[in-house]
Structure 1
Amino acid sequence: MKRWRVTQGKVWVFLLALLGLAVMINGQAPQRSLAAGPRTFYVANNGSDSHDGLSADQPWQSLEKVAATKFQPGDRILFDANSVWNGQLILDGAKNGDGTSTAPITIGSYNQGGTGKKAIINGLGTTANKNPYHERKLSNLNLMTGTVELWNANHWTISDLEVTNTAGDGNRQGMRIGILVASDIQTAYPSGNDAAAVQQKLAIFKASHRTGITITNNNVHNVDGAYQSDLIPDQTGKLVAAGKNSGGIVIVGNTDATATHNVITDVANEGLRNDANASVLPGGWDQYSFQASAKTIFRHNYIRNSAGDGIVISSSENGTAEYNTVQAANSMPNSKNAAGASKNFAGLWFMGGEYNLAQYNEVFDIPNHYLDGAAFDFDGFASKGVYQYNYSHDNSGGFTLFMGDHQTDNVFRYNLSVNDVKDVPSPALNHLIFVVSGKADGIDGFPLFNNNTFIVGKAVKNLMISNNGQTGIRFVNNLVYAPSGNVPRFVVNQNGTKRPVFTEGRLDHNLFYPQALMDESHAGTVDVSGNIFADPQLVDAGAKPSGLIQQADGTFDRTGLAAFVPQAKSPAANAGVNVDELTPAAVKEKFPISQDFAGKLINFQHPTIGAFEAAEAVPVVQKDDLKTLIDRALDTKKTDRYSLASVAKKQAFDQALQEAQWILADSQANQSAVDQAEKALQAAFDQLDGHQAAETSSASQEVPSVQKTDDDKKSKQDREDQSLPQAGDLIFKSLPIIGGVILMSVVIGGLYFKHVREK
């Protein structure tokens, strides 16, 4: 019988046949599919728009190619981090597609290396023109122009780009922006502002809602946008005020957006904001009535040297600004801009929205100021909002302001101001707080201002400016301390010519030091009970911490603020009052609070005055008896009682002595630990048996010898036993050899029987 012999060539034939069968089963050889999503597109300077763009070695080349492509959910468009583009990237949801909540369309970079390098897009001083993407129904949008623009889109992410927009000539000719995200209305607003027209406008505005926009990890810098009152030509040639429409990252219209981990520097006018102009709202400011549905989150962003505002959340519900750093906002030269108009910029503020929260933000080094140029602000139509756990320092324009009509039911609590207000040329009055609430709001126009700490600098002339006839005040549990001895007036009017008198509300349970900080600014109808006029005994009121937000992970280093914690014996400790009844019900429900600025639980019934609960009192710990016992133990180690003791007893004694010495040296040890260490050392001391050995040494000299001999014999026997291989060990160690012999036997036997059969 003829047998088929296996050769190397036949093996290769068999493998190739299997490969061919696999290809047949799949219908064709693997290849890239343009239809199968999600896809990744690559763009590089050395690419070509004739490529499919689906691999890094076949990238597209131009911004225009990207702008002309319809994308699908989950697609990514990645720009080469080693490439630079000059021009605009203008995208629109209708033309370029929408993502989904689970599969957004993403713009980013590749070839970033270990440094996070980003692809660069330079706008080179963009201008608005009459192309279809600037013919907008919302009038102010017609002139806004960005290096990267995203219009009327849902579920897009813009990330890992470096963006500029400057012509290089220093000329601020337009509403230039780094990254612009905008939602236009689809139907023009009807004319008029009567009730029916406003409702129609509101319906149109709500229908323009877009969602799912994320702007993250971008570097936007050198944007030469127009200042607020600069005059620029509109599309008819008429000169109009630029307003607050230009800047680093601007989000306009009814758009839900999140901006995180962006670095924005050297931009004009704004740093990071949404709804850049009130004209996008139906009926304007006074008819808006908090009915926008946009939700805005600004988190972990760093803004430095914005000509105007640092961060603004406008016309947003449930907006959040947290863990942001704003440095040197309001950096426009001189006290007035080129058009001669006064500046009104702040570091981080809210306008026209409900339930907005700002926490764990640091705002500092604002160089200029006017009447309303502070670090923080509740502005017109801002309602039911909260500022908490924010740190303001070295800002020329002061700590905060409350401005405009119908900013009601707001709370400003557990914030810290250190050395705010600079004595620079300005029409301002060197104040920490500016109150310009609506006359009709009464006391409700003054937010609940509780448990804040002010370290008053030398340049402060007025703690507060009150305008528009404000008569009510709610100022409770605040610590106001001027360590330099400066004694500013408590309140003046805007012109500095009159000292208003508060006639209703609460001005109680505060600490003012020196006492003159609380001057005669109130009538007898105002509650001023429980105020304290004494040194608050802070750990270090002269401390100047800065840069507390860690850019690497975005955390807020609250340990840097420990200098402003009242010491245990401070008169502020437990001297405050419960403010639960003063806190608006809507705020209590939406923004419950349990901790102070340092993260310590608040004693609500008897809180410490200021932003920090006082340090815990350190009880006196008695260590004299432990010290005496340690000294006695050290002396005992030199005697026969220790040297002749058994090894186990000496080891226990040494261990107890060492632990006792540690407790003695530990400044944080409590009385319980001291007592326990003393008890353990005394017990070890009592167990030392060296004195018994010394007394019976003559009678027991031979016993250790005999015992030693027995021990020697046992030890020798143990060594002999250990030197002999045990039966179990022999079997275990032989297993590999036995296994190898069996395996060889099976192979040789198989070959033999095969040989016999063939023969």
Structure 2
Amino acid sequence: MMRDKFLFSCLIAVFFFAGVSSTTKAQNLISKSKYYVDSEYGNDDYSGKSQKLAWKSLRKVNTQTFTPGDRVAFKRGGKWKGQLLPQGSGTKESPIVFTAYGKGDLPAIAAEGQFKDAILLKNISNIALENLDISNYDASVKAQKTGPTGVRILAENIGTISNIRLSNLYVHDINGDNKKGSNEGNGIFWDCQGPKPSNIENLLIENCKVVKVDRNGIRGNGTFAFRDQWFPNKNLIIRGCTLEDIGGDGIVVKAFDGSLIEHNKLFHIRTRAKDNAVGIWPHSSDNTIIQYNEVAFTKNLDWSNDGQSFDIDGNCNNTIIQNNYSHDNDGGFMLVISDAINAKSKMTTNSIIRNNLSINDGNKRKRLFNFALVTDDTQISNNIFYNSGQDSVRMELIDIEHGVPKNVVLEGNIFAYQGLATGVFAKSAKQYAVLTWTGNVFKGNISGKDQLLNVKQEPVIKKKNLKEFPWSFIKVLNLEKML
């Protein structure tokens, strides 16, 4: 209960940030200056102060230092090759806004591999990007080796930058390297570098579409995420975004204290990477809430690690994963893992996984849950794990490897396997001894339950109150009859 209250307080703080963004929207309309950019009919010798006197190039925009309340509008249907590098910061009440005007397609900014970042927000605060088409595809190479991005937010040797909003962006076609390392490509990326400890506070990413990116959809860098130099970013919201055809990881919450990841849709993640990648996961982050997301078709065709819809990764504390819909993810539903535990990286602790619906997850990797290395205090409650049995698969329900987790409690969950699918407990009773089972229901093809030693309460077979779950399609799947 104390953990929930603490996380609720963090959530209130995050919503306060969101509320500030909304309440200032009307104020933002009253701007100090409005500039127009027209790739076809503009002229850099013009003032830029009207549509008829629009600027033409990104170069002209990049040489202007903007002031609080300024708005820079790119003409819809226009196309610019190069990099947008805004100069100047707004204020919390009067941010600088880069947006679109006119009718037609979103204004397109294409770096084409000539710049590492199509848009770079470096050491500036109170900035909004909205209604832009952003790409960074170099057709001359299979994979760029520069770590190309669509939008990079960089705090470098500055301390804190704050209040950055990315809305209604279409970020696509970034051909970075799909191997983990410095060459990875990213759709949207935050980055903090020193030597002075630097971070980002109040980052909102909403209603963006990220498509065909190698390697990562939305993620960040953790330079100051080590516990011996802990200076985390604060207050992140990622909501209402759609990610499709991502070569590696989907959304990675990196080096944040206080994050809300909700109402996103992720389809076809880890489509080209051969190393570890998951749909949504925090790393080196505290007080993360991941809820009301749909994650589907994450790939794992080579029997490697990962490929799950969700992961609570190393150096994390106080993570809640709740009310999500996960289906058809090759690697399974959930990974819970610690990194090496030392002065830099603490044990992953205080994890809550509740009220999620998992359908047909893990059929290729043949496991549903994976615990790796030593973690502490994981509460798994009131979830539905269902497999319709289209493939003849024996699914390890709880896989434990490379260490023994502590204080894992499974309570009130339903494991339902039918048709050709079988859920199994194939590990030893000694391995399962670390798990505590209270009031769970096993239906259909489940084997090896006699290996479970710590069954504290026999399951109560009663109809699940499906109104507790946020999925309107549950009747269509005919789950009510089965459950």
**What aligned pairs does 1:307-706 form with structure 2 within 5 A after superposition?**
307-332=247-272, 336=274, 343-368=275-300, 370-405=304-339, 406-423=347-364, 429-438=365-374, 441=375, 444-445=376-377, 447-456=378-387, 457=389, 458=391, 459-470=393-404, 472=406, 473-484=408-419, 486-490=421-425, 492=427, 501-514=431-444, 516-523=446-453, 526-531=454-459, 558-563=471-476, 567=480
Contact 2:118 2:151 in 1 (8 A): yes
Instruction: Give, in whole Å, the separation in 2 of the partners of 1:567 and 1:461.
Output: 23
Q: Match for 1:38 among 32, 35, 59?
A: 32
Instruction: Give, in whole Å, the separation in 2 of the partners of 1:566 and 1:297.
Output: 32
User: What whole-Å deviation, never above 9, does each CA across 1:391-419 have from its counterpart, x for those lacking one?
Assistant: 00011111111011421111000000001
User: What whole-Å deviation, never above 9, does each CA across 1:154-206 have from its counterpart, x for those lacking one?
Assistant: 000011110111111342122011111111124xxxxxxxxxxxxxxxxxxxx
User: What whole-Å deviation, never above 9, does each CA across 1:630-661 have from its counterpart, x for those lacking one?
Assistant: xxxxxxxxxxxxxxxxxxxxxxxxxxxxxxxx
Alpha-carbon distance, 1:565 to partner: 8.2
Percent of residue pairs bearing the same amino acid type = 24
**What aligned pairs does 1:145-224 form with structure 2 within 5 A after superposition?**
145-173=116-144, 174-186=146-158, 208-224=159-175
Alignment partner, residue 753 of structure 1: none
Contact 1:37 1:72 in 2 (8 A): no
User: What whole-Å deviation, never above 9, does each CA across 1:95-126 have from its counterpart, x for those lacking one?
Assistant: x211111111000111135xxx2101111113
Instruction: Give, in whole Å, the separation in 2 of the partners of 1:479 and 1:160.
Output: 43
**Alpha-carbon distance change, 491 to 75 in structure 1, aligned in 2, over 3 angstroms:** farther
Instruction: Give, in whole Å, the separation in 2 of the partners of 1:488 and 1:388.
Output: 23
Alignment partner, residue 272 of structure 1: 218
Q: Match for 1:52 among 43, 47, 50?
A: 47
Q: Normalized per residue, which structure has more strand?
A: 2
Q: Match for 1:124 among 88, 112, 116?
A: 112
- List gaps (5 residues or longer) in structure 2: 1-29, 193-198, 340-346
Tell me the amino acid that sits aligned with residue 243 of structure 2: I
Instruction: Give, in whole Å, the separation in 2 of the partners of 1:82 and 1:469.
Output: 55
User: What whole-Å deviation, never above 9, does each CA across 1:15-41 have from its counterpart, x for those lacking one?
Assistant: xxxxxxxxxxxxxxxxxxxxx961110
Instruction: Give, in whole Å, the separation in 1 of the partners of 2:114 and 2:451.
Output: 53
Instruction: Give, in whole Å, the separation in 1 of the partners of 2:474 and 2:219.
Output: 28
Q: Secondary structure at the match of 1:355?
A: strand
Moved >4 Å (runs of 4+): 536-540, 563-568
Alignment partner, residue 26 of structure 2: none
Instruction: Give, in whole Å, the separation in 2 of the partners of 1:147 and 1:461.
Output: 43
**Alpha-carbon distance change, 564 to 530 in structure 1, aligned in 2, over 3 angstroms:** farther
Q: Normalized per residue, which structure has more helix?
A: 1
Q: Secondary structure at the match of 2:61?
A: helix
**Alpha-carbon distance change, 504 to 434 in structure 1, aligned in 2, over 3 angstroms:** closer
User: What whole-Å deviation, never above 9, does each CA across 1:239-293 have from its counterpart, x for those lacking one?
Assistant: xx426x4211111222131100101100011001233xx3x126x4x5356x514
Q: Secondary structure at the match of 2:59?
A: helix
Alignment partner, residue 15 of structure 1: none
Q: Match for 1:61 among 26, 51, 56?
A: 56
Q: Match for 1:247 among 176, 183, 186?
A: 186
Instruction: Give, in whole Å, the separation in 1 of the partners of 2:270 and 2:125.
Output: 33
Instruction: Give, in whole Å, the separation in 1 of the partners of 2:211 and 2:268.
Output: 10
**Alpha-carbon distance change, 436 to 54 in structure 1, aligned in 2, over 3 angstroms:** same
**What aligned pairs does 1:255-294 form with structure 2 within 5 A after superposition?**
255-256=200-201, 257-275=203-221, 278=222, 280-281=223-224, 284=226, 287=228, 291-294=231-234
**Alpha-carbon distance change, 58 to 110 in structure 1, aligned in 2, over 3 angstroms:** same
Contact 2:373 2:405 in 1 (8 A): no
Instruction: Give, in whole Å, the separation in 2 of the partners of 1:512 and 1:159.
Output: 48
Tell me the amino acid that sits aligned with residue 415 of structure 2: V
Instruction: Give, in whole Å, the separation in 1 of the partners of 2:142 and 2:358.
Output: 37
Alpha-carbon distance, 1:356 to partner: 0.8
**Alpha-carbon distance change, 450 to 318 in structure 1, aligned in 2, over 3 angstroms:** same
Q: Secondary structure at the match of 1:66?
A: helix
Tell me the amino acid that sits aligned with residue 39 of structure 1: S
Alpha-carbon distance, 1:487 to partner: 2.3
RMSD: 2.6
User: What whole-Å deviation, never above 9, does each CA across 1:705-730 have from its counterpart, x for those lacking one?
Assistant: xxxxxxxxxxxxxxxxxxxxxxxxxx
Tell me the amino acid that sits aligned with residue 324 of structure 1: N
Instruction: Give, in whole Å, the separation in 2 of the partners of 1:400 and 1:161.
Output: 34
Q: Secondary structure at the match of 1:287?
A: helix
Contact 1:470 1:502 in 2 (8 A): no
Instruction: Give, in whole Å, the separation in 2 of the partners of 1:160 and 1:567.
Output: 42
Instruction: Give, in whole Å, the separation in 2 of the partners of 1:414 and 1:563.
Output: 19
Tell me the amino acid that sits aligned with residue 305 of structure 1: D
User: What whole-Å deviation, never above 9, does each CA across 1:419-474 have from its counterpart, x for those lacking one?
Assistant: 11233xxxxx4111111142xx4xx25x1000100002443521121013315431
Q: Secondary structure at the match of 2:253?
A: strand
Q: Secondary structure at the match of 2:475?
A: helix
**Alpha-carbon distance change, 466 to 350 in structure 1, aligned in 2, over 3 angstroms:** same
**Alpha-carbon distance change, 126 to 499 in structure 1, aligned in 2, over 3 angstroms:** farther
Instruction: Give, in whole Å, the separation in 1 of the partners of 2:143 and 2:200.
Output: 27
Contact 1:272 1:312 in 2 (8 A): yes
Contact 1:491 1:500 in 2 (8 A): no
Higher relative contact order (CA 8 A, sep 6+): 2
**Alpha-carbon distance change, 177 to 491 in structure 1, aligned in 2, over 3 angstroms:** farther
Q: Secondary structure at the match of 2:290?
A: strand
Alpha-carbon distance, 1:504 to partner: 4.1
Instruction: Give, in whole Å, the separation in 1 of the partners of 2:268 and 2:185.
Output: 17
Alpha-carbon distance, 1:222 to partner: 0.5
- List gaps (5 residues or longer) in structure 1: 1-35, 128-144, 187-207, 230-240, 337-342, 424-428, 493-497, 541-555, 573-759
Alpha-carbon distance, 1:514 to partner: 3.2
Tell me the amino acid that sits aligned with residue 484 of structure 1: G
Tell me the amino acid that sits aligned with residue 385 of structure 2: F
Contact 2:474 2:480 in 1 (8 A): no
Instruction: Give, in whole Å, the separation in 1 of the partners of 2:447 and 2:241.
Output: 36
* Bigger Rg, structure 1 or 2: 1
Alpha-carbon distance, 1:491 to partner: 5.0
Instruction: Give, in whole Å, the separation in 1 of the partners of 2:206 and 2:243.
Output: 12
Alignment partner, residue 299 of structure 1: 239
Q: Secondary structure at the match of 1:507?
A: strand
